[in-house]
Structure 1
Amino acid sequence: MELIMLSPDSKEPLYIQLYKHFKGEIENSRLSEGEKLPSIRGLAKSLAVSKITVEKAYQQLMSEGYIENCDRSRYRVNNYEGIAFKAAWPADTQAAASTVEIEEGTVFYDFASGEMDIDGFNFSLWKRYVSKVFANKERLVGYGNIQGEEELRSEIAKYVHNSRGGKVSKEQIIIGPGVQSLLNTLCSILKADTSSIAFEEPGFKNGRHIFADHGFQIIPIKMKTDGIDMEELVASKTRLVYVSPSHQFPTGYIMPIGKRNRLLRWAEEVEATIIEDDYDSEFRYFGRPIPALKGLDYGENVVYLGSFSKVMPPSMRISYMVLPDRLLPVYHKNSSLYNQAASTIEQLALAKFMGDGHLERQIRRLRKLYYEKSLLFFDALKRVFGRLVEVNETESGLHTLITVHSELTAQELVDRAMAKGCRVASVQDYYWENTPEKQPRMILYFSKIPAGNMLQAVQLLKEAWFPAGELGAGNSGTRITSAGRRERKR
């Protein structure tokens, strides 16, 4: 293969230069059919460019049919004779899908899941920490601490203080196997004090159902671009509210510092309790993270919920809750009613993992990985859909919302996507009351979609929603919007 020469002074982006190099090599038969291209990581290192540069070049070559994906990181040359632009199907299903219908329920691309990238965690390293736990068998033959293992609670207290600004003690922390399990415990603590709870609308539907099952009246409060509507909240007369200010789900809105202080003042004035779900707080790609409400709270009014499910494999099932001191006596009074369902083995392994600094390294690694994937994702949405959808780009998190300019209903879009092997979720599913949505909005996660398949995945979604021959109905008036986003360097 000819030496690759890239010019940083050229007006052409580096990925276009790289794309043209390989295109020329293939067209002039210097790269033959079946020959493997260098790995993304290896080529990026040898050329001193970012992985995203190589990925974008390879994506362009693949979308035009010059190469195909033969595993997650290696590509091989297609037969050049007669190459024409073709729809980018998943490589392992391309031939079959073009001739037979996709089997019902088959999911090629899961846009509805915020699960971790398959290459986002070092399982070999984790295995070593789990193995260390078995050296102390005495700790493993009992049921463990009801509140959670002391070592892990100590590490979490330091983590919340260093990363989110919250001054908490290990005595305030309760470990659980997921946020929903902790909410059941929290309901039993709060039910004697209040009978209603306000939730963001749209918002965390599973949380609302848990509180409803415990007899709480659910009061939906509409979302504004800067967070929950304070006028509606005050008018509701409730003294309990559930918010996710760092990255609201599903809108992606981030509550600014002024609004956070206002919410805390309200809680002080009416002696209310704020449940802060610090969802996706680790993945803010620009600027410094805004302090958590817990870090700003001096009145003991915030219950803080955190989870490791976005930075560690969610199969580990470890989340935590920080109670204000005033609620601890109620918890301890009823503690005999609770069971610790989180694995003692994994709690102890995680405590040591955190103590050795690996959690911070893991977060930095994922932040870089997901930022690069977000660039690919938003670029693919723009290139493939063009003016058919409106994309709400945010500067944090693992998902986005898109408004689909189609006469189809949200459920019809969900069903059509599933028929093509793409699982998506509708924003309408996250309203407690009737949705005010005038056009269907969909939630699309990019975290689980392989970087090398991002373009094909988005293209397959377009085929589901806008088949050839049906375009034209909703083709105008669309745009890319930005929720407080600064211009990104690419």
Structure 2
Amino acid sequence: MSNLILLDHASTEPLYMQLYRHFREEIEQQKLKEGEKMPSIRWLADSLSVSKITVEKAYQQLLCEGYIQSGNRTRYSVGRFVDSAWPPPATPAAVTAPASSVETPVRYDLASGEMDMEGFDFDLWKRYINKAFADPDRLMRYGDLQGEPELRRQLVAYIRSRGVNCRHDQVIVAPGVQSLLNILASLLKAEHAGIAFEEPGFKIGRRVWEDREFRIIPVRLRREGIDTDALAASGARLVYVTPSHQFPTGYIMPIGERVRLLTWARQTGATIIEDDYDSEFRYFGRPLPALTGLDTEGAVIYMGSFSKVIPPSIRISYMVLPDRLLERYKKRASLYNQATSAIEQLALARYMADGHLERQIRRLRKLYNEKHALFRHSLRTVFGKRVEINETESGLHMVLTVKSKLTPKELYDRALADGCRIALLQDYYLGEAPVTPSQIILYFSKIPAGEIDAAIRLLKKAWF
């Protein structure tokens, strides 16, 4: 069967989608009959020289759409298909899209902070997912509103390394940072009409608060982090900060500025929301402790996520509420359904308990440290003095100042025309962003190490 399957490794269409389309068409045309066994995942992966993950994803898509059925965990057969007289869906080639909607093929996505596909052991994760099914009675019940206790206890131990000391009953689990922000907006609306954000800053986070009718107060950023003098002058009493790795600039707030920020909160009765963004990926020296670890007044709400450590499709984020807000949360807890998969929570709890998360972080830190060095070296070698790199020793991206007469939008368009997607720093400003100098954001996490230099050379070709 594999002789009939032709996969185009140079195509922008993912291999699993090509494989999915092949089998879908075979089933629709009844070349594969109802009940016929599908090739085993391992055999097909070896025959096509692709990863087992590629075959698994194709089969999962076919399974979801009813084209195949599962006999056990690893073997599938063709499902019952509708009458062959039923017209098959139009193939992509038969659909003519308006010219304006045709996307330029992207060879290198330098605007995405997604993790390296080689950086996660999916087979290991599947074993922990399977273990979570060992207690079916529990899975038939609604989970704990704050998150599964086993996971919250593991989180308490995990964030202790960041200097955060808390109880597991202070931890709230949710499927993503946006869900946590929606909970906080509901909790804090009665006492706050506005919230300050770093400028430039986390635009998706701003949107959540805007949608909840909070006034957004942009506060300028210095290399040391948010300008505490400007923050004090703004009148804000609620602020969202990313001190460990400011997004998008990559700046790290030094200890002196952290103390100043906490002093401001103590003197004004303000609340600080700390997003400990990208704190896992510091490549030189020890990371500073989280701001929350320095807080003795209960002024800081701590937030974290695993989206850069495990695949972001495993939607698990968390926050630690100070006691003064915890009581308010518990009074309203029935309003907040727990939308995070209990299966994934239990799997992650066991995964952490067995030490795999720590090993995963060490593995990724080594991988990204190597990519970080390659990326920086390639930028310097290829561009020379035509660019300035915002030097940081952490994170998964770099900010580049391009010494060109081209506007940021022109840089973006030219890069995209040559197959590179980039991000613009100006898009993260709430107010008017500086047009000059042209500053762009380049992520390296998703780019294979062996293709980093080619990606950088493609950018140079587009711009100079």
Measured against the shorter chain, the TM-score band is: 0.7 to 0.9
Letter in 2 for 1:348: L
Match of 1:206 among 204, 207, 221: 204
Residue 315 of structure 1 is matched in structure 2 by 313
Distance 2:435 2:346 in 1: 46
How far did residue 105 of structure 1 move? Answer: 3.0
Residue 117 of structure 1 is matched in structure 2 by 116
Distance 1:272 1:294 in 2: 14
How far did residue 286 of structure 1 move? Answer: 1.0
Residue 391 of structure 2 is matched in structure 1 by 393
Q: Are the counterparts in 1 of residues 282 and 393 from structure 2 also a CA contact under 8 Å?
A: yes
Residue 328 of structure 1 is matched in structure 2 by 326
Distance 2:258 2:302 in 1: 14
Distance 1:257 1:191, change over 3 A: same
Residue 378 of structure 1 is matched in structure 2 by 376
TM-superposition CA deviations, 1:90-137 (whole Å, max 9, x none): xxxxxxxxxxxxx73312111111110111111111111111111111
TM-score (norm 1): 0.73
Residue 224 of structure 2 is matched in structure 1 by 226
Distance 2:142 2:364 in 1: 33
Residue 195 of structure 1 is matched in structure 2 by 193
Residue 345 of structure 1 is matched in structure 2 by 343
How far did residue 391 of structure 1 move? Answer: 1.1
Counting aligned pairs with the same residue, the percent is 63
Distance 1:238 1:387 in 2: 41
Residue 301 of structure 1 is matched in structure 2 by 299
Match of 2:177 among 176, 179, 188: 179
Q: Are the counterparts in 1 of residues 423 and 442 from structure 2 also a CA contact under 8 Å?
A: yes
- SS of the aligned residue for 2:239 comes to strand
Distance 1:403 1:287 in 2: 26
Residue 100 of structure 1 is matched in structure 2 by none
How far did residue 249 of structure 1 move? Answer: 0.5
- SS of the aligned residue for 2:440 comes to strand
- SS of the aligned residue for 1:315 comes to coil
- SS of the aligned residue for 2:118 comes to coil
Distance 1:409 1:445 in 2: 20
Distance 1:335 1:360 in 2: 31
Matches within 5 A, 1:385-464: 385-464=383-462
Q: Are the counterparts in 2 of residues 104 and 419 from structure 1 also a CA contact under 8 Å?
A: no
- SS of the aligned residue for 1:393 comes to coil
TM-superposition CA deviations, 1:399-444 (whole Å, max 9, x none): 1100111222111211221111211110000000001342110000
Residue 55 of structure 2 is matched in structure 1 by none
Distance 1:293 1:382 in 2: 34
Distance 1:71 1:413, change over 3 A: farther
Distance 2:444 2:402 in 1: 17
Q: Are the counterparts in 1 of residues 408 and 435 from structure 2 also a CA contact under 8 Å?
A: no
The list of structure 1 runs, each at least 4 consecutive aligned residues, that deviate by more than 4 angstroms after superposition, is none
Q: Are the counterparts in 2 of residues 172 and 323 from structure 1 also a CA contact under 8 Å?
A: yes
- SS of the aligned residue for 2:304 comes to strand
Any stretches of 5+ residues in structure 1 without a counterpart? 1-69, 73-102, 467-490
Distance 1:215 1:201 in 2: 19
Residue 488 of structure 1 is matched in structure 2 by none
TM-superposition CA deviations, 1:301-352 (whole Å, max 9, x none): 0001100001111110110011111001211122121111111111000000
Deviates more, 1:142-151 or 1:357-366: 142-151
Residue 149 of structure 1 is matched in structure 2 by 148
Distance 2:350 2:105 in 1: 39
Distance 1:137 1:357 in 2: 25
Letter in 1 for 2:334: S
Distance 1:142 1:71 in 2: 39
Matches within 5 A, 1:2-13: none
Letter in 2 for 1:136: D
Asked if residue 363 in structure 1 is aligned to residue 357 in structure 2, the reply is no
Letter in 2 for 1:249: F
TM-superposition CA deviations, 1:258-290 (whole Å, max 9, x none): 111111111111111000000000011111110
TM-superposition CA deviations, 1:36-75 (whole Å, max 9, x none): xxxxxxxxxxxxxxxxxxxxxxxxxxxxxxxxxx999xxx
Q: Are the counterparts in 1 of residues 203 and 428 from structure 2 also a CA contact under 8 Å?
A: yes
Number of residues paired by the alignment? Answer: 366
Q: Are the counterparts in 2 of residues 177 and 341 from structure 1 also a CA contact under 8 Å?
A: yes
